[in-house]
Structure formats: C-alpha cells, structure tokens
C-alpha cells in the first residue's frame, strides 16, 4: 500500500498545459500505475511473432487521462515486438464522445496523441458496456480500465437512509453488495474469455480500502455524507419530497479489497475456473487536486467555485433522476441548481478538510 503517493508539486508538473484540475487527479491515478503495467507486460513474455497485439482501455471517456500511459505501454510493446501490428481499442457506453477520443489519440488536439508516432498501429472504439462481451474469445492481449467498474449494471433497490451505498445498512446494503459481487464476477468473466492465454489485465477501481476509506471519504469532511445531508435537508424543508430523497441513489458499489480479490482466489468461482489469476493488489490514495490547490491559494470562494462544478459534472444526473417526473423540467433544474448552490455555500463557509481524495485498488491479473 502506498498512501498519498503524489504531492501538489507532482500535480502541478504533470498537469501543466494539458490537464485541468478536474482531470489531473484521474490522470495521476493512471500514471502511477505505469510500473505495474510495465511489469505486467514484462511477465507476458511478448514474442516478436508478427501476430496482432491487441490492447484496450475500457471505460475510457475521452481517452485524455490515459493517453500518456497508453502511448508508453504501446511503445513498450513495440520495442519488444517490432513485427507485431498493434491495435488499441477504446470502449465506453454508446453515448460517449468517441469523436473526441479519436481527435485526442490521432494528435488533433493539445493532448499528446501517440498514434501518428507509432508505426503499424490501428486505433478502434467500441460502444459496448464492459458488463458485456466487447471482444471475441481469445482476442485481447492486454486490458486496462480505470475508475469505471464501480458502476453497477442496475440499481438492485432503494437506499432509504442515504444516497450512496457507503451509507447504506442492513438488507438495503446487502442488495448492493450482492449486485456489486455479481457485476464484478460478470465483468471479470467477460475479460477472462476475451484475453488470450498469457494475456494481462490491469484494473484500477474505486474501492473501500483497508482503513475503510473511499472516494471523498478519507479524512476531513465526508463528500457522500455531505451529498446526503444536504439532499435530506431539502426533503425536510419540503423543497423535495421524502419519496424523492429515498429514490435518489448512486448506481455504484465500492468493493473492498477482499471483494475485489474473491473471484480470482476462489477456486469455485467461474472467473477462477476460466483461468484468470491475481498477480498483485494494492490500494492507493491520491490527494484531491482542488484541496491541494486551495491549500496553496487559501481562497475559500475560489475553492468552491472550482470544485463544485466538477462534483456536479458526475453527480447531478443522479439527483436529477431522483426527482419526480411530475415536476416540470424547469422546476427540476432549479432544484438541482439550488442543491449545488447549497454545497458551494457549505464549502465556502467550511473549506478546511473538504475535497475528493481518490481511493483505488490497483490490480494486476493474467490468464493462464
């Protein structure tokens, strides 16, 4: 385990030019996996036999935060196997902006697109969810995914006392635990079928670590508890109904380290039977870039102004979906504005300890 691997100066260095604070954290998460990725590629004993070497980034978004890592990994394979055609496939949901992925990778943006510089490389995209089969049997040499597999394929029920499973209890928590288990087994089962024998997989997932920490729930002010408290206050104030509060749940499950490992270590699990083996697992905490930035500039209003839009970008659809469709669209939009305004006020008035530290498992696997 390697807590707090990166410092503010790392962020500034790596983030300069290309990356905003909104993407710097996710990029550091990925870049800090580079030694593990190189190790996984070394272990694969890549022969220079002229066959296609296929790599994938699953749940890629615009491909920006992984672009340095992917370029490095492909060049590393190219060194080992000059004769092998390389394919790189970016996968995400159909609604993803794949045009932006191609622009980034082919060097048509400010990002360091690697495709023009690597010979005999072919880049593809897939709009198929990683909960399903993306590739044919035995067609993938090296798979990667970061900060994606916590999305479960469906909500198994309500969480009446909180907006996220990190605050759920009893039977409600158990339903999310089971959904998280079943989805993880299915995700890994799909990848096990897709990997060639000897192929490798590096997966970085939001998790609950050995100290019980998770995204935005490390030290200081807990992000998901704040999400929950402010939303519940809107219900208690009558701005939204209690039914709407209860209907609002993030479709996510943060697995702990045992849950992440189980399908790979239990000989009775279909994933293990399919030959997928765990080579390495560790957890890492990456500091929230907004908090680090605030600790430099000390301006609470600026902190709130910078931080809230990012929080909002990945969470507002969840709160929006919780609101009754009987409300006019405009009214729902106003309620969401009000909600994030209240989060902004809370950060402005209580800036210390706010933030969204990333807590991930870093897992390396191979197929026997």
Cβ closest to a copy of itself, residue 115 vs residue 288: 115
Cβ closest to a copy of itself, residue 123 vs residue 278: 123
Cβ closest to a copy of itself, residue 54 vs residue 163: 54
* The pair of three-digit structure tokens given for residue 130, joined into one six-digit string: 């990683």
The number of beta carbons lying within 10 Å of the beta carbon of residue 16 is 9
As measured in angstroms, the least distance from the Cβ of 54 to a copy of itself is 10
As measured in angstroms, the least distance from the Cβ of 93 to a copy of itself is 8
As measured in angstroms, the least distance from the Cβ of 46 to a copy of itself is 16
Cβ closest to a copy of itself, residue 89 vs residue 226: 89
For the chain, how many residues are written?
368
As measured in angstroms, the least distance from the Cβ of 49 to a copy of itself is 13
Cβ closest to a copy of itself, residue 110 vs residue 341: 110
As measured in angstroms, the least distance from the Cβ of 272 to a copy of itself is 24
As measured in angstroms, the least distance from the Cβ of 116 to a copy of itself is 11
Helix/strand/coil (H, E, C) string of the chain?
CCCCCCCHHHHHHHHCCCCCHHHHHHHHHHHCCHHHHHHHHHHCCCCCCCCCEEEEEECCCCCCCCHHHHHHHHHHHHHHCCCCCEEEEEECCCCCCHHHHHHHHCCCCCCCCCHHHCCCEEEEEECCCCCCCCCCCCCEEEEEEECCCCECCCCCCCCCCCCCHHHCCHHHHHHHHHHHHHHHHHHHHHHHHHEEEEEEEEEEEEEECCCCCECCECCCCCHHHHHHHHHHHHHHCCCCCHHHHHHCCCCECCEEHHHHHHHHHCCCCHHHHCCEEEEEEEEEEECCHHHHHHHHHCCHHHHHHHHHHHHHHHHHHHHHHHCCCCCCHHHHHHHHHHHHHHHHHHHHHCCCCCCCCEEEEEEEEEEC
> Footprint of a copy of itself on this chain (CB under 8 A)?
52, 85, 87, 89, 94-99, 101-103, 105-106, 108, 120, 122-128, 133-137, 139
Cβ closest to a copy of itself, residue 135 vs residue 307: 135
Pairing outcome for strands 195-208 and 358-367: antiparallel
As measured in angstroms, the least distance from the Cβ of 227 to a copy of itself is 29
As measured in angstroms, the least distance from the Cβ of 137 to a copy of itself is 7
As measured in angstroms, the least distance from the Cβ of 84 to a copy of itself is 9
Q: Burial, 365: exposed, middle or buried (Cβ in 10 Å; 0-12, 13-18, 19+)?
A: buried
Cβ closest to a copy of itself, residue 105 vs residue 168: 105
Find tokens 């590629």 and name the residue.
Answer: 41
Cβ closest to a copy of itself, residue 7 vs residue 120: 120
Cβ closest to a copy of itself, residue 121 vs residue 234: 121
CA R_g for the chain? 21
């Amino acid at each position: 385990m390697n807590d707090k691997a990166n410092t503010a100066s790392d962020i500034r260095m790596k983030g300069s030019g290309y990356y905003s604070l909104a993407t710097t954290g996710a990029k550091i998460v990925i870049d800090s996996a580079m030694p593990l990725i190189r190790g996984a590629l070394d272990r694969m004993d890549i022969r220079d036999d002229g066959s296609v070497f296929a790599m994938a980034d699953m749940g890629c978004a615009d491909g920006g935060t992984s672009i340095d890592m992917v370029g490095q990994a492909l060049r590393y394979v190219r060194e080992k196997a000059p004769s092998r055609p390389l394919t790189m496939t970016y996968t995400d949901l159909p609604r993803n902006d794949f045009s932006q992925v191609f622009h980034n990778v082919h060097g048509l943006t400010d990002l360091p697109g690697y495709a023009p510089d690597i010979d005999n490389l072919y880049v593809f995209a897939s709009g198929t969810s990683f909960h399903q089969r993306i590739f044919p049997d035995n067609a993938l040499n090296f798979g990667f995914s970061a900060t994606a597999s916590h999305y479960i394929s469906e909500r198994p029920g309500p969480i009446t006392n909180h907006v996220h499973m990190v605050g759920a209890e009893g039977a409600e928590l158990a339903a999310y635990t089971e959904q998280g288990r079943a989805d993880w087994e299915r995700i890994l089962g799909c990848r096990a079928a897709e990997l060639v024998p000897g192929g490798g997989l590096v997966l970085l997932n939001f998790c609950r670590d050995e100290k019980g920490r998770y995204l935005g729930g490390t030290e200081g002010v807990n992000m998901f508890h704040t999400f929950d408290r402010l939303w519940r206050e809107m219900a208690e104030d009558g701005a939204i109904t209690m039914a709407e509060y209860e209907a609002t749940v993030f479709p996510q499950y943060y697995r702990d380290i045992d849950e992440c490992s189980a399908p790979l270590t239990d000989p009775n699990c279909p994933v293990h039977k399919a030959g997928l083996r765990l080579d390495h697992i560790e957890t890492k905490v990456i500091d929230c870039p907004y908090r680090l930035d605030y600790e430099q500039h000390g301006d609470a209003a600026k902190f709130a102004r910078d931080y809230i839009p990012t929080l909002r970008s990945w969470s507002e659809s969840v709160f929006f979906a919780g609101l009754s469709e009987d409300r006019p669209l405009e009214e729902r939009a106003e309620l969401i504005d009000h909600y994030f305004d209240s989060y902004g006020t809370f950060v402005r008035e209580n800036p210390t300890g706010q933030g969204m530290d990333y807590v991930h498992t870093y897992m390396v696997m191979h197929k026997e």
